[in-house]
C-alpha cells in the first residue's frame, strides 16, 4: 500500500491513495506505507499534514512505534495536543512503561491517559462489582502516573 514512506516529499504530493478520506465520520487515514528503518525524513511531512488538518478543523491521530523503540516517535511530540499511552498486561514491562512515562514528562508531553488493551474480563464480574481482584503493579503504576 502506498503511504508516507513511499517517497512523497510534501503534503501536496499526497494522493487519495495515501489519504483515505472519511474512514469514520470526520476521520481520515494516512497510511504509513512500506516499512522503513528511518523516519526522520518523515517528521517535517507529518508536521505539515497535521498543521493542514488542524487548519481544516480535523482531528489528527498519529499512531507511532513504541516510544522506547524509535527516537522519531519523541520527535513528533511537539506536534500533538495529547498523548495516549497503550499498554498490554503481560506484554508491556513495568519498567518500560515507567521509562516511557518519564520520557513523556521530560518532553512536557500532555499525557491524556493510559489505555490497557488485551484485558480479559473475569467471569461473573459486572460493572457494579467492585471486587476486581488484586491489583497488578502495572495498574498501580497507571493510577499513579495519571494522578
Closest CA to 63 of 55, 73, 75: 73
User: What confidence tens digit (pLDDT) does each residue in 45-89 have?
Assistant: 788 877 877 787 777 777 777 888 877 788 888 888 889 999 999
Residue bearing the bigger pLDDT, 35 or 144? 35
C-alpha neighbours within 13 Å on the C-beta side of residue 63? 8
- Residue 146: what pLDDT? 46
pLDDT of residue 7 exceeding 70: no
Instruction: Compute and round to an integer the Cα radius of gyration of the chain.
Output: 18
Of 84, 86, 106, 108, the residue nearest 96 (C-alpha) = 86
Lowest-confidence segment of 16-20, 57-61, 66-70, 129-133 by average pLDDT: 129-133
Give residue 76's pLDDT: 84
For 46, counting Cβ atoms within 10 Å of its Cβ (0-12 exposed, 13-18 middle, 19+ buried), the class is: buried
Residues 6+ apart with CB under 8 A from 85: 97, 100, 101, 104, 111, 113, 114, 115
Per-residue pLDDT band for 104 (boundaries 50, 70, 90) equals: very high
Q: Specify the pLDDT at position 106.
A: 94
Q: Which of 3-7, 10-14, 29-33, 53-57 is modeled with the greatest confidence?
A: 53-57
Model-level pTM? Answer: 0.64
Amino acid at each position: 500500500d502506498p503511504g508516507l514512506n513511499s517517497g512523497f516529499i510534501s503534503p501536496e504530493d499526497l494522493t487519495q491513495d495515501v489519504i483515505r478520506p472519511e474512514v469514520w465520520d470526520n476521520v481520515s487515514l494516512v497510511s504509513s506505507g512500506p516499512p522503513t528503518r528511518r523516519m526522520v525524513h518523515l517528521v517535517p511531512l507529518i508536521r505539515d499534514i497535521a498543521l493542514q488538518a488542524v487548519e481544516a478543523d480535523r482531528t489528527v491521530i498519529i499512531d507511532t512505534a513504541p516510544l522506547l523503540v524509535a527516537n522519531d516517535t519523541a520527535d513528533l511530540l511537539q506536534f500533538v495536543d495529547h498523548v495516549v499511552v497503550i499498554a498490554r498486561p503481560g506484554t508491556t514491562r513495568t519498567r518500560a512503561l515507567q521509562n516511557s512515562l518519564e520520557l513523556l514528562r521530560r518532553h512536557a508531553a500532555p499525557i491524556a491517559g493510559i489505555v490497557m488493551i488485551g484485558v480479559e474480563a473475569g467471569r461473573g464480574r459486572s460493572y457494579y462489582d467492585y471486587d476486581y481482584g488484586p491489583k497488578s503493579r502495572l495498574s498501580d503504576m497507571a493510577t499513579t502516573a495519571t494522578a
